[in-house]
Each structure stands twice: as C-alpha cells, then as structure tokens.
Amino acid sequence: MTTKMRMKSKSSLSMKTRALLGILAGAAIWCACQKEAIHIVKEEIPVPKDSVWISVSTSKGEPEAKGLDLINDGATLNTYWKGTETVQVYVDGSHLGTLTVTPGEGEKPKQATLSGYIGTEGLTFPVLLTLRLPRESWSYTGQAGTLASIENSYDYALASVGFNGSEITDNAHFTNVQSIYRFGFKLGENYLDPRSFTVEAAGGKLVQGLSYEGGEWMPSYGSLTVTPAAAPEDHFYYVSLRNEFTAADTYSFVIVGQDDALYTASKEIPARVLDVPGKFISAKSISVTKPSFAPVNETLSEPVEVL
C-alpha cells in the first residue's frame, strides 16, 4: 500500500470515528435531557395549599363492614378492609379531603392505615374530624341488590378522630349506620326473581339519603327501589337499609316480575333488629302474592259537578 493510500485510509477512519463520537455525544445529551425532564416533572407535583398529610390507624370487627363476603354457610357476613376503597374527611359537614386505604397483613385484614392530604384552612385546633366511607354523597337510592354494589357505594360507616393540626391523636373505630338485608321472594314453592322491587316501611323512617343542614345530618325519608342487573343463581338480593324507626316495623314490597306482572309482599321487622344498625338480617323466604286488579262497580250517592 502506498503512502498516499495509507493516508487516505487514516483520514477515512478518522472521519468515521468523529461521526460515531458525534452520535454518541448526541445520545448522551438526549438522555440527560430526558432525565432532567423527568426530574422536573416530579418536582412540579404540588402540595395542596393550606393542607397537611395525615395518617390514621384503624381496625374493623363485626359488624363494622366494608369488604363483604358470606361465611358459615351464608349465616354470617364477614368484613375486612380493601385497598380499593376510600375514606372521606369532614369537619361540621365540610369536606376536607379523601384518604386512601392501605390494608394490613392477611388475605382479609381487619386493620388498615388511612392516609392523604386534608384541607386545614379556617380550622381551629384541636378539632374533631369525622371519617366516612365509602363515598362523599350519602344516598341509599339506586341499589342493584348485590353485595358488590353495597360494598362500593352503600355500606356507610362513621368514625371520629382528634387532630391537633399536625397529626391524628386517636385511632379510628368505624361504626356502621345501616343494616344489610338479604331478601328472597317466593311465589308458592318457587323463587320469584324480580325485574325490580320497591321497599317501603310502615313507620315512615326508611332513609333515602342524608344532607348536612344547620349543623347536623338531616335525613330524607321514603321508599327505595332496587333494580338488579341480572337474576342471581341463588335468588337472593342484598339491600342496605337505614331505618330510624326503632320500634317494630313492617316492610312492604311492590315487585315487578320478569313477566312485567306486579306482585306484593310484606315482612314484619322486630324491634330488636332495628334498635342497633350494623346488623346482617336474612329473610330468604318472603311469600308474595299476585293481586287482582279487577274493576269494581261503584254507585255515586251524589252527582259529580264538573267545573
């Protein structure tokens, strides 16, 4: 190889090396920029104004419930904490924030830690916080007749904890504020699967929802309609009911069957069931009837005046 050829080869190699080094340098700069961008995004996550992070230890025992399943051949409603639920924080009806749930050890833990930011603007410490699950609105309407729907939206429980402005001073002990009923409807010897059914209490204290007014939670009363998405295999329907009538009561049912026919039923509810909320009540064999709507001939004693 001549000297001229060797020089040309070196020159070519040098150009390739410089090009490669340039590419590597560009990649390094790009990676550095990406890391810097990620770093900047992380630092820009804001802490809510006038707020503080709190952590609350809590435990559940019967009949305090959120996660729900049946044990002992369906005679007992088991309760436990789930990581998908949330807890709302209030002072005098004002919503301060939402806490997430970190369950304790075990498949179905009774203990959990609640944590999150709450607003502190305008508070005077120490103060008593009210904790409520599972959601901010407090309503019993729109139920679907399943344990899953109750667990997600209708299994309300309350706890109170002290707060000194920087930390929680108590553990949270939740108390359920309604009971869960299991209903089964039978027409003769066969179960009737409703397209929908409406529950009404003779005592007039069946709660549809609660709102905070004048320093306290005020209930609205009335009937509740349950609309199942599908008929369950065991023909049983679960309903969360808050009944503020503590004496013996009667539940009346108006049922729309799968054939769109109307049926009626009633069930006596003893006072021992209503005196303390948070119970699991099973009524698996409520007898229904199909009322007759035949017209009745009537004679008017006086003529009707048309205005």
Q: What is the model's pLDDT at position 17?
A: 52
Q: Are residues 198 and 90 in the same domain?
A: no
Whether 77 is covered by a domain: the verdict is yes
Q: What is the model's pLDDT at position 175?
A: 87
Token representation of residue 83: 């990581």
Nearest in space to 227 (alpha carbons), one of 288, 146, 135: 146
Phi first, then psi: what are they for 268, rounded to 5°?
-75, 130
Whether 57 is covered by a domain: the verdict is yes
Token representation of residue 246: 């503590």
- Where a domain ends, among 177, 206, 225? 177
Strands 179-187 and 280-287: parallel
d(CA 35, CA 39): 6
Whether 17 is covered by a domain: the verdict is no
CA angle 296, 302, 306 (to 5 degrees): 95
Q: What is the model's pLDDT at position 215?
A: 81
Q: Are residues 152 and 85 in the same domain?
A: yes
Note the Cα 298 to chain centre separation in Å: 51
Q: What is the model's pLDDT at position 293?
A: 66
Higher-confidence position of 68 and 45: 68
Q: Are residues 151 and 219 in the same domain?
A: no
Long-range contacts, stretch 185-191, CB < 8 angstroms, 24+ apart? 185/235, 185/253, 185/255, 185/263, 185/265, 185/286, 185/288, 186/285, 186/286, 186/287, 186/288, 187/263, 187/287, 187/288, 187/290, 191/235
Asked if residues 120 and 51 have their Cβ atoms less than 8 Å apart, the reply is yes
CA angle 210, 211, 216 (to 5 degrees): 100
- Where a domain ends, among 119, 148, 177? 177
Q: Are residues 52 and 143 in the same domain?
A: yes
The total number of residues written for the chain in this structure = 307
Query: pLDDT tens digit string along 112-148?
Result: 999 999 999 999 999 999 999 999 999 999 999 999 9
Q: Are residues 156 and 71 in the same domain?
A: yes
pLDDT at 27 over 70: no
Global pTM value: 0.78
- Give the domain extent around 67: 46-177
Query: pLDDT tens digit string along 168-204?
Result: 998 898 888 999 999 999 999 999 999 999 999 999 9
Query: pLDDT tens digit string along 7-20?
Result: 444 445 455 555 54
Strands 157-163 and 127-133: antiparallel
Q: What is the model's pLDDT at position 235?
A: 97
Q: Summarize the confidence of residues 206-213 as an average pLDDT.
A: 94
Query: pLDDT tens digit string along 235-260?
Result: 999 999 999 998 999 999 999 999 99
Q: Are residues 109 and 220 in the same domain?
A: no
Q: What is the model's pLDDT at position 242?
A: 97
Query: pLDDT tens digit string along 266-286?
Result: 999 999 999 888 889 999 999
d(CA 241, CA 232): 20
pLDDT band of residue 46 (cuts 50, 70, 90) is low
Q: Are residues 151 and 233 in the same domain?
A: no
Give me the CATH number covering residue 113: 2.60.40
Asked if residues 102 and 115 have their Cβ atoms less than 8 Å apart, the reply is yes
- Where a domain ends, among 135, 161, 177? 177
Provide the domain count of the chain: 2
